[in-house]
Structure 1
Amino acid sequence: MKDQEKEFGPSSWAIDNKTAIYALVVLLTILGLVSYNNLPKENFPDIAQAKVFVTTQFIGQSPQNIEILVTRQIEKKLKSLKGLKKVTSNSYDNISIITAEFNGNVKIKDAKDDVKEAVDKAKPDLPQNDNNLKESEISDINVADLPILYVNVSGNYDLKKLKEYADNLKDAIESMKEISKVDMVGALKPEIQINVDLNKMTAAQVSYDDITRAVGAENIIMSAGGLRVDGVRRSVDIRQDFKNADEVAAMVIRNPTGKAVYLRDIAEVEDGFHEQESYARMKTKEDSGFKKVITLNVSKRTGENLILASDKIFALIKEKQAKEFPKGLDVTVTGDQSDQTRTTVNDLVNTIIIGFLLVTIILMFFMGTTNALFVALSVPLSCFIAFLVMPAIGFTLNMIVLFSFLLALGIVVDDAIVVIENTHRIFDNGKVPIAKAAKMAAGEVFLPVFSGTMTTLAPFVPLAFWNSMIGKFMFFLPITLIITLLASLVVAYIFNPVFAVDFMKPHVKGEHDNPKFDKGIKKVLLWFAGIAVIAYLINFGVGNFVVFATVLFLLNHFVFVKWIDAFQNRAWPKMQTAYANLLEKAVHVPWWILGGTVGLFIFSIFFMMARSPKVEFFLRLILTLLLCTLLYQRGQIRLIPTRLQRY
């Protein structure tokens, strides 16, 4: 049957404008690599949980009273909120904790506003004029706010001196664009203490209110208005806040009769600290016991590069220790999430590269070396296009995205296989001009390949609209697959026909029987050597990949081509013959084949029902990190897990 001379317009245009296509390939490669390097890298996507927590303290009350007086009253107002999924509550001694979980389509900001409004409506139903009842706190859990690492400052210094060094480090870390906040734990907050002598105060006819008003009037930071100078209006600020205890002690206080009294004459004024509210301890392998530290909990901004942020912090600490901090000051980083992220990203990238090489080798045996390389190039080119799109839609390079690339590895080559194999068939070893063959091949198979790709994408489309917490988490998988597979269509119909026109040559029988180390091979090796040098200057791993490609090239020239010829001329025809015989027998007994298929389907259903496998949402993993909160109630300490990290 003679092939119809169909053409697909974009493919024909690409073949007629090969120079532009090669320039586009180079541009996509460079921009794709740059985009990959600049993409924020993290272990998991930053997903905000659709849960809002209402925490209310009522000092001195039992769990039963907390339940009746506080929890139930707030729950009544929360249950009428729009988009609410469920409400759960826990009442403890002195405290009520209510969790409002919303549907996945509700924005967490709107949910918090609705909860605040509901809590305000519940205030009239709560106990009135009781100072033991505290204001309700409304909070949510944002994965991005969890610390990416902990910086521990310790040494043979008191907590006041350690805080000075910790403040220095905290300010420097907070100035990084990748960091959203740094919380300090275990530090003392300075205060100026005024210890009044009651007898002296009475003798001077001064009251507590007089001292409070005098301190408040003197300790001020405010604006005093504006002043026009040389045509420019400048603001005038008053900064009279106290810096130390001596300034407070020298303050003058007047009694109701107008007599002046120095504060130091009726009170002892000294620099002190607030009652310590947080504690930090650390024990390392070198320490025999726990030592006091000040810990900085560092959180990154949403969408920023976790690995880059961690590297910057380590570089900052190293610089501070070398130039500013004394030798006796120890700065230790614990709980660094970048280690696990770096390992996960590198492992998945290496898996993708190994998978790409295995796909290429398998294609070489079935399609020949040249055709296999055309097809294999669709993998990196499709990934480069996806890398260019991902920043525009706010994607980061996380485990879900990389797993999606790994899943797409064997799918993106399907379109290219059909186009290249059809080109090779029409080319018929040189009987049809290669340019004409490539145009006809693309035109013939466009609709089948396009419809096949659309049917492959169709099951992933509903996943993009999965309205739940897990749906938001898995959203990255279908979108990445859709982008990559659509990119593979572009590669198959724009780039692959151009490669075929320039590199697909007629085969001569016996051309691979006696491979030689000729000038052509030496020239290619020189090119590989130059590329390897440049690659090693860019990245050590890229350089190793180029060296591996060089070894693969030599193995193909001297070893693989013989194996491929033997497989295609001996083993593969036998497999085709065996399959044809099996198919011929099946055609003669169609009802047996159909009945066997239905029977196997029914058997598999009953087998699953009989086996009744255990269903788990996630696999059981190894526990690596457990963060807990200590809750003191009725003289007892309760340990409450607050964060679990597994791998």
Structure 2
Amino acid sequence: MLDKIKEFKPTSWSINNRTTIFILTVFLALAGYKYYTKLPKEAFPEVKVPTIYILTFYYGTSPTDMENLVAKPLEKQMKSLSGVKKITSNSQQDFCNIVIEFNTNVKSELALQQVKDAIDKAKKDLPQKLDQGPNAQAINFSDFPIMNVNIAGEDLKKIKIVADNVKDQVESLKEITRVDMIGALNREIQVDVDMYKMQSAQLTLGDIQRAIQFENMSMTAGQVTTDGLKRTLSIKNEFKTVDELRHIIIGSQAGAKVYLENVADITDGTKEKDSYARLDGKDVITLNVVKRSGENLIDASDKINAIIKGMQKSKAIPSDITVTVTGDQSDKTRTTLHDLINTIIIGFILVILVLMFFMGATNSFFVALSVPLSMAVAFMVLNAMGWSMNMIVLFAFLLALGIVVDDAIVVIENTHRIFLENQGIGIIKAAKLAAGEVFLPVLSGTLTTLAPFIPLAFWDGIIGQFMIYLPITMIITLLASLLVAYIINPVFAAAFMRHYKSSSAKNKQWPRWLKGLSIVTLLVAALGYLLGYTGFSNLIIVLFLLVLIHHYVLRTWIFNFQEKLWPRFRNWYGRKLVWSIEHPKTILSSTILLFVLSFILLGVRKPKVEFFPISDPNFIYTYIQLPVGTDTKVTDNVAKEVEARIKKVLAQDSTIVTSIITNVAVGAGDPRANDLSVQTNKAKITVAFKQFSERNGKSTREVLEKVQQSFAVNKIPRTDIVVEQEASGPPVAKPISIEIIGENLEDLISVDSTLKNYLELAANKIAGVEKLKTDVVASKPEIVFTINRERANREGISTGQIGNELRCGLFGIEASKFRDLKDEYPIMVRYKESQREDLNALNNLKITYRDMNMGGLIRNVPLSSFADIQYAVSYGGIKRKAQKRIITIESNVLSGFNPNEVADQVRAQVDYWKLQNLPPGVEVKMGGQKEEQDATASFLSGALLTSIGLIVLILILQFNSIGKTIIILSEVLFSVIGVFLGLAIFGMNVSIVMTGIGIVALAGIVVRNGILIVEFIDILKERGLETKAAIIEAGKTRMTPVLLTATATILGLIPLAIGLNIDFQTLFTNFNPHIYFGGDSVAFWGPLSWTMIYGLSFATILTLVVLPVMYLVSENIGNKIRILIGKKPKEEKQF
């Protein structure tokens, strides 16, 4: 029979050129390690969705006018751009921001350029005197702080100097894009003008500004030639001290000079504090460090910590100033990557142990080579693609762990079988023949395994950008495994595979090679201990002990398993297979019944459906929002009250809390929102917890629920408080999002108020809804000066002059810069604070200006003579989406409730309300996360159909038979039965993303075993066996690789599925394995892992029983059809 097997030429060439392949193997290993160390490390992949943010300032303009004058003209140009997915705008008092989200296949650079070009086209329709913008910038979803550097001390000015120095050094790192400072007192030279003294001196704020500007000046006057040289003539007369400001002349009155100090108070002070930061209740200056896209998070963190330690050591940070780093995202990244790497090692060990019993230690080592070598190739490709090492990539390696060995298992197992069963041929010939015999089924199996990952690689949107790392890494690794299985593995088998024998007598001896190995081990270990490499030396000793255990214990066990236990099991399986093919109706009807039962059981148990798996929080974010216009100090006081409540709730769980950080105004927004503005009415409190392994079994989810409940019961008046954990996975919308769309703003606000009140009524209130919050403010407080244009014109003054005088007096005007040795600070001119805060004083303010119609005569005209003052309310902002006005009602879902179930209940209430209350011209619909879920489910359904189509194409190309293709595809059905039964029996949640990906991936993995059996049945029939005999022999022969490949994949996933964590680093350094169960990885990847374990386990069992029966039934049906059409059957069989 061996003479009918054709060799696979690339494998034969490799075996004939073993030295070349050995060198190639070493090169791959070294290059793989090098590129692994170069890959940037981060917890989650960076989501690059091309999103452009346009910001425009037009001071003194109402939200409605901002919408009409700025938003609409810009939107008109933006909607015509190619690749635009969504346009939203928010028009508020004085400014407007527009967010344009493009499809993910558009590059950010191109999107930004398109937007800038569209802005240029829109400028003809925009107001000519905009204060600032429109300015466009790209938004990066990775622009969130990677750590908080908190600086505390007694001297506030001293702290600010230290903070500036730290900020400058950190921003100089190539890994850092910017550092945001919160809670600092910024130096400012304040010129507080007394309006009455200024008016008495017949001066204006403009006069004071110009006087300061012209006195504080350095300029070049030209060049003078002296002694044959041209020398630059310059004037340098900038202020060296603040006192010099007091004595500058700003005018004259009755022949007397008027100095600045005569009409103003000059102070070397600080700006009004526009942000606050606290760490554990103490005021600090916080530096929020934002990493540059694509850079290594761990390297960035290490460098920042080194900078801080270096500055402390050099006394650049004095001893009386403390610097505390909190919220270091690299800690989670290190833990996640560390846990996943350890999980890969555990899975690798389990796979080797199983393979060892089936194939022997040497052969299992050959197979195991495929794992690191395939990963080495993947590391090189990923580095070339500019990707990072993140938890998605590592899970792909973990998933591939059991799959990449499949090709090697089949090739090495076939080599081992041919070598043992044919004593007359050598190992080199056996390796060549074995590779040739299984090349086509292995190639087809690999391609069918890859097939489901191909459509996943074309997943668009934010979720697709997040998950694309999984299919691409799998495709690269599996293709690499095919190369390793046919080029490298056979070479090692040909060089080292021997007939396996076991003798208890021999095992008791101390062979020469073992003596030599023991001496080398002792010498290397001793050298390691001397040089301080304790972990390495311990590893060497442990490996030597494993060699001893294998030599004296495992070899006998392996021999007994291979020669006694496994042959018995194969014979038992053969008998069961014979019974099965003799009772096909029983087998097939039982399978169909089981399929129906799985659906019924799943319907009865009704597992909860979730978008992404939800893990225990590592951070709790409490977002505080007060009415628009609230002063920063008031917001800070409310934040202190909220902070005190949180501390009270956390009192019993304080041992697992590492820090509580409060940010007011700056850094207080939701990082998932596309709003880059600073708002004084917002604050955020961040609670950080210890790593999962250090929590001693305490659940942070319970802590989250306590905090949420504390604010649900005891609410703070006029304050919206939302408590949530950090997002797992890519940024997505809120679980509950109700969009109210139309053009009449009054109708939209009415619907918003009515619907929100309806949903909040006790009779309609739905359990699990945290806090319904609308994004429109319909009662922003304002003081309106209504100008009587006719009276103002009679006085010879324009509205612009009035507005400019008020703005300069209240906001201030920067007259110049005061420079010292290190920095420069603004010199701000404005009215005294007591006059700025006195409305009566402002109403009676005399507008001082030069009337050019009267020769520049100074005139003082009271504001009250041509303006009326009114208290009013206005809209806080007008938002638009797809060129229509929109108001959104949003809410999170409380911890412990299923978001989908709560959202469905809200949807039902909204639909009922719409039937009775919706006015014409207004549309109400559910959006947010539900939209993304529906799109994801639709894509995954399409991906499953596409992958099945690709698998069908591959199978037809190989077998040229529709019947055999249908038989093999039945394995997909078997896997679905296993998934449904597993979910129903164990009551697990269904994750739309993770469970969906698991089912799609299973479609390709499970069919490869069917290919092995069907293909070998065909080979045996070609060699002369009748169908039944071929089926039985193929089942018994291919049972070993089928079980091995399935077991390898399952064992690779089990450590992650159950959350088994073993720290191999501490195991070898101090013999403490630090074993624990759980963590972020198991919560995130558990649904996908269990989906594949359930499906693959069930499909493997049914493959060994049902698939042979279906093959026989298919043959019999084919023969009957041939008889009916008058053709001769292939074989005469009794059914």
Bucket of the pairwise TM-score, normalised by the shorter protein: 0.7 to 0.9
Residue of 490, 498, 512 corresponding to 1:519: 512
Q: For residues 543 and 403 of structure 1, do their structure 2 counterparts lie closer, same or farther at Cα, with a shift above 3 Å needed?
A: farther
Cα distance between partner residues in 2 of 1:538 and 1:632? 62
C-alpha distance in structure 1 between counterparts of 2:249 and 2:165, whole Å? 35
Report the aligned-residue RMSD: 4.1
Report the secondary structure of 1:353's partner residue: helix
Q: Deviations over 1:50-70 (max 9, x none)?
A: 555567789899989988898
Q: In structure 1, which of residues 562, 570, 585 is the aligned counterpart of residue 564 of structure 2?
A: 570
Question: Structure 1 pair 313/227, CA: closer, same or farther in 2 (3 Å)?
Answer: farther
SS in 2 for 1:296: strand
Matched, 1:376 2:368: yes
Give, in angstroms, the shift of residue 327 of structure 1: 1.2
Alignment correspondent of 1:608: 602
Distance 1:639 1:91, change over 3 A: farther
Task: Give the Cα separation in 2 of the matches to 1:238 and 1:14.
Answer: 81
1:479, distance to aligned residue in structure 2 (A): 0.9
The letter of the residue matching 2:393 is: V
Contact 1:627–1:644 (8 Å) recurs in 2: no
Q: How many angstroms apart in 1 are the aligned matches of 2:64 and 2:261?
A: 50
Query: Does 1:442 find its partner at 2:435?
Result: yes
Task: Report the equivalent of 2:153.
Answer: 155
CA–CA separation in structure 2 for the residues paired with 1:343 and 1:79? 44
TM-fit CA distance, 1:161: 1.6
Pairwise CA distance, 1:234: 12
Deviation track 1:35-82 (CA, whole Å, cap 9, x = no partner) reads: 222221100001134555567789899989988898778766665554
Give 1:468 deviation, angstroms: 1.6
Query: Match of 2:313?
Result: 322
One of 157, 161, 164 as aligned partner of 2:161? 164
- Give CA-to-partner distance per residue, 1:545-584, whole Å, 9 cap, x none: 5444333222111111111112112211111011101111
* 1:266-345 pair list within 5 angstroms: 267-283=264-280, 290-324=281-315, 325-345=317-337
Assess, with a 3 A threshold, how the Cα gap between structure 1 residues 19 and 121 changes in structure 2: closer, same or farther. closer
User: How far has the Cα of 1:521 moved from its partner?
Assistant: 1.2
The answer to whether the 8 A contact 1:210-1:255 is kept is no
TM-score scaled by length of structure 1: 0.85
Separation of aligned partners in 1, 2:528 and 2:236? 59
CA distance in 2, matches of 1:348, 1:515: 40
Does structure 2 conserve the Cα–Cα contact (< 8 Å) formed by 1:48 and 1:141? no
Q: After TM superposition, give the deviation of residue 407 of structure 1 in Å.
A: 0.2
- Residue from 181, 184, 195 that aligns with 1:184: 181
Deviation of 1:339 after TM superposition, in Å, equals: 1.0
Q: Could you report, residue by residue, the CA deviation over 1:435-494 in whole angstroms, capped at 9, with x for unpaired residues?
A: 222223223332322222111111101111111211111110011111111111221122
Give the letter for the 1:553 counterpart: V
CA contact (8 A) 1:512 1:562 kept: no
Decide which moves more: 173-182 or 604-613: 604-613
Question: After superposition, what is the alpha-carbon deviation per residue over 1:579-608, rounded to whole angstroms, capped at 9, x for unaligned?
Answer: 101111122223333333333333333443
SS of 1:295's equivalent in the other structure is: strand
When residues 386 and 627 of structure 1 are mapped into structure 2, their CA distance, relative to the original with a 3 A threshold, is farther
Q: Superposition pairs for residues 345-364 of structure 1, below 5 Å?
A: 345-364=337-356
Q: Equivalents in 1 of 2:350, 2:62: separation in Å?
A: 66
2:544 maps to which of 550, 557, 564: 550
Partners in 1 of 2:528 and 2:44 — Cα distance?
30
Alpha-carbon distance in structure 2 between the residues aligned to 1:225 and 1:82: 52
Please give the alpha-carbon distance, in whole angstroms, between the structure 1 residues aligned to 2:518 and 2:95: 74
Matches within 5 A, 1:47-196: 47-52=47-52, 82-87=82-87, 100-111=100-111, 141-158=139-156, 160-196=157-193
CA contact (8 A) 2:198 2:263 kept: yes
- Matched AA of 1:574: R
Q: Counterpart of 2:584?
A: 590
Identity %: 49
Alignment equivalent of 2:628, drawn from 604, 627, 633: 633
Q: Is the 8 A contact 1:190 1:272 kept in 2?
A: yes
Distance 1:72 1:120, change over 3 A: same
Question: Which amino acid is the alignment partner of residue 726 of structure 2?
Answer: L
Contact kept? 1:11, 1:494, Cα under 8 Å: yes
The residue that corresponds to 1:20 in the other structure is 20
Q: For the structure 1 residues 60 and 262, does the alpha-carbon distance in structure 2 shift closer, same or farther, using more than 3 Å as the test?
A: closer
Q: Contact 1:374–1:499 (CA<8 Å) still a contact in 2?
A: yes
Contact 2:360 2:500 (C-alpha < 8 Å) held by counterparts: no
User: How much has 1:89 moved relative to structure 2?
Assistant: 6.4
Conserved? CA contact 1:192–1:244, under 8 Å: no
Cα distance in structure 1, aligned partners of 2:232 and 2:9: 68
How far apart are the structure 2 equivalents of 1:222 and 1:563?
A: 92
Aligned to 1:286: none
Query: Which deviates more from structure 2 when the two are superposed, residues 552-561 or residues 57-66?
Result: 57-66
Question: Larger deviation: 144-153 or 412-421?
Answer: 412-421
Instruction: Report if the CA contact (8 A) 1:182-1:299 is conserved.
Output: yes
- Cα distance in 1 for partners of 2:264, 2:451 equals 79
Contact 1:625–1:645 (CA under 8 A) maintained in structure 2: no
Relative to structure 1, the CA distance from residue 119 to residue 550 in structure 2 (aligned partners, 3 Å threshold; closer, same or farther) is: same
Partner of 2:7 in structure 1? 7
Give, in angstroms, the shift of residue 363 of structure 1: 0.2
Report which stretch shifted further, 113-122 or 587-596. 113-122
In the aligned structure 2, how far is the partner of 1:54 from the partner of 1:116?
Answer: 9
CA displacement at 1:294 relative to structure 2: 0.9
Change in Cα spacing, 1:52 to 1:530, as seen in structure 2 (3 Å) is: farther
Aligned counterpart, 2:863 = none
Corresponding residue number in structure 2 for 1:644: 726
Q: Which amino acid aligns with 1:321?
A: Q
Counterpart residue type for residue 177 of structure 1: K
| Conservation of the 8 A alpha-carbon contact between 1:50 and 1:469 | no
- C-alpha contact 2:501 2:559 (8 A) present in aligned 1: no
Q: 1:172 offset after TM fit, Å?
A: 1.3
| Amino acid paired to 2:295 | E
Distance 1:241 1:281, change over 3 A: farther
Match in the other structure for 2:357:
365
Provide the secondary structure at the position in 1 that maps to 2:293: coil
Between the aligned partners of 1:601 and 1:535, the Cα distance in structure 2 is 59
1:581 aligns with 2:572: no
C-alpha distance in 2, partners of 1:234/1:638?
A: 66
Mapping of residues 423-572 of structure 1, within 5 Å: 423-428=415-420, 431-508=424-501, 510=503, 514-529=507-522, 545-572=539-566
- The alignment of Structure 1 onto Structure 2 pairs a total of residues equal to 636
Q: Which runs of 5+ in 1 are unaligned?
A: 284-289
Alpha-carbon offset, residue 328 of structure 1: 0.9
Aligned residue in 1 for 2:384: 392
Give the partner amino acid of 2:294. Answer: G
Q: 1:329 deviation in Å? A: 0.4
Question: Does structure 2 retain, via aligned residues, the 8 Å contact 1:371–1:504?
Answer: yes
What's the offset of the Cα at 1:221? 6.9
Structure 2 residue identity aligned to 1:432: I
- SS of match in other structure, 2:726: strand
Q: Measure how far apart 1:381 and its partner are.
A: 1.4
After TM superposition, the structure 1 stretch with the greater mean CA deviation from structure 2, 497-506 or 94-103, is: 94-103
| TM-score when normalising by structure 2 | 0.50
* 1:512–1:561 contact (8 Å) kept in structure 2: no
Residue pair 2:38, 2:383 contacting (<8 A) in 1 also: no
For the structure 1 residues 34 and 316, does the alpha-carbon distance in structure 2 shift closer, same or farther, using more than 3 Å as the test?
same
Partner residue of 2:393?
Answer: 401
Q: Is the 8 A contact 1:513 1:562 kept in 2?
A: no
In 1: Cα distance, 2:82 partner to 2:5 partner = 61
